[in-house]
Amino acid sequence: MKSKFLRILLAVAATFTFSALAQTGSAATPSSPLASSSTPATTSATPPPTTGKVGTINIQDAIFGSNEGQRDMQALQKKYEPKQAELKNSSEELEGLKKQLNDQGPKLNEDALATLRKQIEGKQKTFDRSVQDAQEEIGNQQQDIASRILQKMAPLVVKYAQENGYTLIVDTSKPWPQSPVLWWNPDAVDITKNVVEAYNVQSGVAAPPATGAAKPAAPKPSTGTGATKPAAPKTETPK
């Protein structure tokens, strides 16, 4: 789900990048050799065209680091707190049954042992299915939030790039080699923070109160070696 989400972001970001390039691609072109040869020797040569600036943006950090993104992610986390609590209880119950099997297994008769194993197997399947459903549901709603914000943020990125002399903006949401960008100096070329600040002004959304988590993390399914508890939420901060 995460890879699909990033592919969508990159595709949309690329669309606006190409749009920006189309609008800025009409920069002055070098003089032809014939034109240069006809210039008198006493006249200074035409200076070469200025190389355009290249900038980077972590579009995912920009989206979820904006006031609107943080607000909506906090609301999403709050919505799924009951589900996380439910999965935590199921996980602890499953863990207790597995501990019972390890501690009492050798002492149980064949029928009791088979019943306990069947109970564990059934609860494990139910738990894994519930975790997968929660992951998909949360992932879809995260994608909806990101797509909605990106539709409003992408034109602002283009405007910022044009007003500040950038001819190319590259998304660095994914590290190399998933991204073609091998290395960059964030202090010199990254515009994520500036875009987030500009978007916060444009959206008019106030900074939400700090809760220690901006983005809910979907729980992970059990590996079968023990009960897996839902992952703790992680905080995403803009660069």
Does residue 150 contact residue 63 with C-beta atoms inside 8 Å? yes
- pTM for the model stands at 0.65
Task: With CA atoms as reference, report the closest residue to 55 among 97, 23, 108, 13.
Answer: 13
Reduced to 3 states (helix: H, G, I; strand: E, B; else coil), residue 9 is: helix
Does residue 200 contact residue 85 with C-beta atoms inside 8 Å? no
Residue 223 in this model has a pLDDT that exceeds 60: no
Q: Which residue range(s) make up the domain with 95? A: 2-16+52-203
Reduced to 3 states (helix: H, G, I; strand: E, B; else coil), residue 137 is: helix
Which segments within the chain are labelled E, that is strand? 53-57, 166-171
For CA atoms 144, 150, 151, 153, the dihedral sign is positive
Encoded amino acid at 85, one letter: A
- The total of other beta-carbon atoms located within 10 Å of residue 208's CB is 16
Place of tokens 């009960």: 227
User: Within a domain: residue 26?
Assistant: no
Residue 47 in this model has a pLDDT that exceeds 70: no
Count how many domains the chain has.
1
User: Within a domain: residue 155?
Assistant: yes
User: Within a domain: residue 239?
Assistant: no
User: Within a domain: residue 131?
Assistant: yes
User: Within a domain: residue 236?
Assistant: no
pLDDT tens track for 83-109: 999 999 999 999 999 999 999 988 889
User: Within a domain: residue 235?
Assistant: no
User: Within a domain: residue 9?
Assistant: yes
Does residue 204 contact residue 70 with C-beta atoms inside 8 Å? no
Residue 215 in this model has a pLDDT that exceeds 70: no
pLDDT tens track for 146-183: 999 999 999 999 999 999 999 999 999 998 888 888 88
Start-to-end CA distance of the chain, whole Å, equals: 23
Does residue 69 contact residue 63 with C-beta atoms inside 8 Å? yes
Task: With CA atoms as reference, report the closest residue to 222 among 84, 123, 104.
Answer: 123
User: Within a domain: residue 216?
Assistant: no
